[in-house]
Amino acid sequence: MTQTQTETLTRRDAIATGATALGATTLGAARLLADEPKPRRKVRIGVVGGGFGASFQWNQHPDCVVTGVTDLRADRRDLLRKVYKCDQVYDSMEDMLKQARDIDAIAIFTEAPNHVPHCVAALKAGKHVICAVPAAQTLEECQLLVDTVKKTGLIYMMAETSYYQQETITARKWYEEGKFGNLFYCEAEYHHAGPLRPKPGSLAIDRNGKRTWRYEYPPMLYATHTNALLTGVTGERLVEVTCFGVENEVTRKRDNAYKNPFCNQTAMYKTNRGNGFRGSQYWLGAVSITVRASWFGLKMSFLAQTPYGQPPIRVTVRDKTSFDEAGFEFQEPLVEPIKVPKWYETEMLPKPLRHGEGGHDGSHPFLTHEFIDAVVSARKPTVDVYEAVAYTAPGIVAHQSSLKGGELLKIPDFGRGT
């Protein structure tokens, strides 16, 4: 029943039954109007960072409108303006926070070393925040971020693409359904092969030949892409780590902002459930770009596709048994290639976002929707601040382990919130 119809009925009832009936009918109409679904107010978002930040779908979400954009570079400000059809352009994030009164949330896609300072500033300014990975650079920054979110009571989400890759969604659904049985081991890889000496115009050297924050950045400080492939599926926390690094002729000089000697790092973690997890972060070498994992269970295992031609594989234990040459009995597994669903084409997303645009295996529409829906619904997002530091802190400690020759180190637990 619409408001116009309700008012018409109210007037008709008043004429027929008099003033007493009018009062009763008005109360009834008020109840009917209260029961009708109210339109959800659109989240007004400001986007900071015109590189990665231009690859999301804020302007496509039915509950969102972009009301401000900014980047320190004029060309990227212009790109954001065009992508999001937003003419409210600020010269800096600081200007946006000082001047903007029509912004509810900030999407921060700036340099990794600036994530915590920028997130803290936005949260203290009363804005909900979604931020690119990693959440922090140090354990102290992890704690500061957690404390700031708790103090402000605002929503923070980390835009971890691995959480919403199509194979990760599949693994998470199977895990929740108990298909793995005891998922006792996982190994994940983030391999991003690159030139030995970056050229101007690359991610590590800007157009003017100046080093960016990415120049010889420690691989394990960017370990959220791998750690999310376990923690984002099972909810486990990584509690101990030993990690080994590989140097090359450039990195061993430690001629970088981080005094980092490693081009590649491999970590072996122990989880709070006593399970093993290997995470490898390789910048250089004879490897192909990939973000993938293999999940091993007692009942079923799932091996994500590789860049070397292997399709997604599901391995299932069958009742059929055989004997090997030594006479030991074993169960013959069923090994089958599978087709992973395109979850971004399903009702998991609003209709305008049911596409895989933006990169990272269709994850961007999910990240867009999850953050906006969390703000509208006043709920915590999937990758909230506690999940974010649970993906980030293990890599920070792993890097320290590799600097100490692989020493076994404890990983602090920042909690899970409420």
Q: Which residues pair with 317 in a beta bridge?
A: 333
Q: Which residues pair with 278 in a beta bridge?
A: 187, 268
Q: Is 82 helix (H, G, I), strand (E, B) or coil?
A: helix
**Residue 84 main-chain phi, psi, to 5 deg:** -100, 5
d(C-alpha 294, C-alpha 316), whole Å: 14
d(C-alpha 66, C-alpha 64), whole Å: 7
Average of per-residue pLDDT values in the chain: 90
Beta carbons within 8 Å of 12's beta carbon, 6+ residues apart: none
Q: Which amino acid is at 165?
A: Q
pLDDT at 183 over 70: yes
Alpha helices in 305-384 (DSSP H): 363-377
pLDDT at 411 over 90: yes
Alpha helices in 70-152 (DSSP H): 74-84, 93-99, 115-124, 139-152
| Residue 140 banded pLDDT, cuts 50, 70, 90 | very high
Tens-digit pLDDT profile for residues 258-288: 999 999 999 999 999 999 999 999 999 988 9
30: Cα within 13 Å, side-chain hemisphere: 6
Tens-digit pLDDT profile for residues 315-349: 999 877 777 777 777 778 999 999 999 999 999 99
Query: What is the structure's pLDDT at 264?
Result: 97
pLDDT at 162 over 60: yes
| Residue 6 banded pLDDT, cuts 50, 70, 90 | very low
- Backbone dihedral region of 216: left (phi > 0), alpha (psi from -120 to 50 degrees) or beta? left
| Residue 35 banded pLDDT, cuts 50, 70, 90 | low
What mean pLDDT is predicted for residues 230-248?
Answer: 98
pLDDT at 160 over 50: yes
CA distances from 342 to 78, 121, 346 (A): 32, 37, 8
11-20, 211-220, 279-288, 363-372: lowest mean pLDDT where? 11-20
Scan for tokens 């570079």, then name that residue.
Answer: 73
CA distances from 333 to 101, 167, 200, 270, 329 (A): 60, 21, 51, 27, 13
- The H or E element spanning position 270 is strand 264-271
CATH of 162-347+384-410 given 3.40.50.460, 3.30.360.10, 3.30.420.40, 2.60.40.650? 3.30.360.10
CATH 3.40.50.720 residue ranges of the chain are 43-160
pLDDT at 4 over 90: no
Tens-digit pLDDT profile for residues 93-105: 999 999 989 999 9
**CA nearest to 245, candidates 395, 386, 64:** 395
What mean pLDDT is predicted for residues 75-103?
Answer: 96
Exposed, middle or buried by CB within 10 Å (0-12, 13-18, 19+), for 129?
buried
- Say whether domain 43-160 belongs to CATH 3.40.50.720: yes
Beta carbons within 8 Å of 350's beta carbon, 6+ residues apart: 61, 62, 369
CATH 3.30.360.10 residue ranges of the chain are 162-347+384-410
Q: Is the pLDDT higher at 398 or at 18? A: 398
Tokens of 248: 């090359």
Q: Which amino acid is at 259?
A: K
375: Cα within 13 Å, side-chain hemisphere: 27
pLDDT at 109 over 90: yes
| Residue 387 banded pLDDT, cuts 50, 70, 90 | very high
